[in-house]
Amino acid sequence: MTLAERARRVIPGGVNSGQRSIPGLLDLVITRTAGSRFWDADGREFTDYHAAFGPPLLGHNDPEVTAASADAAGRIGLTGVAVTDGEVLLAEQLAELIPSVEKVLLTSTGSEATFHALRVARAATGRRLVVKFQGCYHGWHDSVSLNVISAADRVGRPDPTSTGILPEVLDATLVLRFNDPAGVRQVFAEHGADIAAVIVEPIPHNVGALLPTEEFLRTLREECTAAGSVLVFDEVITGFRHALGGYQAICGITPDLTTLGKAIANGAPIGALGGRADLMDLFSSRPGGPVFFAGTYNGHPAPVAAALATLRKLREEPVHEHVFRLGDRVRTELDALYRRLDVPAVVTGYGSVFVSYFMPGPAPLAYDDLLANDTALFVGYRRHLIGHGVFELPLNLKRSHLSYAHTDADVDRLVEATEAAVKRTLAEGGPSDLAHTSTMGGAAAPTPGAGPTPNAAPAKGVR
């Protein structure tokens, strides 16, 4: 019996996240990672552009990060009381680097950070509604677990990623179109007095890369300020991968709260929530704070040490220069490749992130533009990349990442393998088994006292 078969006997689906069960890769077992590579149980070597959805900006098992984490683990264990020196140092650095952060609390995951951001926003404002945007993902919790990668017939109505969410929770979330300032102004005109928070990925990377317009982000800031609502930037992906100050330092728009994760510690399990001091002081970590905040593993010494080592390397070495240069090269050369093959494609991304949508231009601005993407070609060529020892996640709309460990030779190999994989996919007509290759949408909206209701009527707050 193989390891994958053994896993399926004792782990539902054989994996510990719904985003890891990949059609066509159900027998993949990874045994080692290093730099820009990983190896499987069959001894195959892959150049990794998936990069665990983005955390290892420095590359897998960066020696300095690994050493710092091991040193901390050998020096101090989890105490669950008071604060450690590492937590203080990390909090000080986050407050120094991120424009919006005056005070900060550490979590174990990005989902926890976004959960606490919305909880404290509702507590501070006394309001009910949360605004999110189609195509943005903010974690697994109920308030925002809807309308991410939706089928065409589910855009514009509630599209929960899971069953088991209370209808009244979904009804308290208003879903808008990304990059639509007029829609933002309209929803504030209608509901502004009851909007506790607007949460947004400044670049929606969970659907590849939708680049924001300056007017859109500025409108979010203006409307939240005018209505007294809390603006939350979910920088779990963009934070540190795009700049030491997050995307907010690039776009010049300062939110009230910022959530962080992934690249903060090069893959170690840590997240953070920071922002205005008056909001952060509402948490129960400050005696008398009315908003409960807890977590046994928050500020665990080993991940904190990994984060400190990661930030030190990001500040002292030309990490961003390297990955941005490679990113520009990948996007330029892939664009030229598709033009040469006469394949309609839009190659986009930001910095170290890249994605090829197989659709006519111009570059997409909102999720509904992405409905034109050729899913069969998108998934098909990525499946064929595997035979060339190159790994991009074969799920629809998923982005790819470069790290400090990737080289120009890796890019050469990527472009060559992509040409061969695309040609083969076109010749074969693309795969027909596309079930479960577009994830994060399509769960039945719950109805009290009834079973699943796949044809549930639109909620009034979804536009």
Residues 6+ apart with CB under 8 A from 44: 389
Query: Of 49, 103, 137, 410, which one is the catalytic site residue?
Result: 137
- Both tokens assigned to 333: 């050369």
Cβ atoms 390, 49 nearer than 8 A:
yes
Concerning whether 234 is annotated as a catalytic residue, the answer is yes
Runs of H (alpha helix) within 282-431? 301-316, 319-341, 375-385, 408-428
Query: Of residues 103, 132, 262, 313, which has the active-site annotation?
Result: 262
CB burial of residue 290 (10 Å; 0-12, 13-18, 19+):
exposed
**Which residue in 256, 277, 231, 402 sits closest to 329, CA to CA?**
402
Q: What's the CA gap between 396 and 406, in Å, rounded?
A: 24
Question: Is 338 known to be catalytic?
Answer: no
Q: Is 137 a catalytic residue?
A: yes
Cα torsion through 416, 420, 423, 427, rounded to 10 = 180
- Dihedral over Cα of 259, 252, 241, 356: its sign: positive
Q: How many CB atoms lie within 10 A of CB 30?
A: 11
Q: Which one of 234, 256, 374, 410 is the catalytic residue?
A: 234
Find, among 394, 333, 417, 351, the residue nearest to 57 by Cα. 351
Q: β-strand 195-200 against 129-133: which pairing, if any?
A: parallel
Give the catalytic positions in this structure: 137, 234, 262
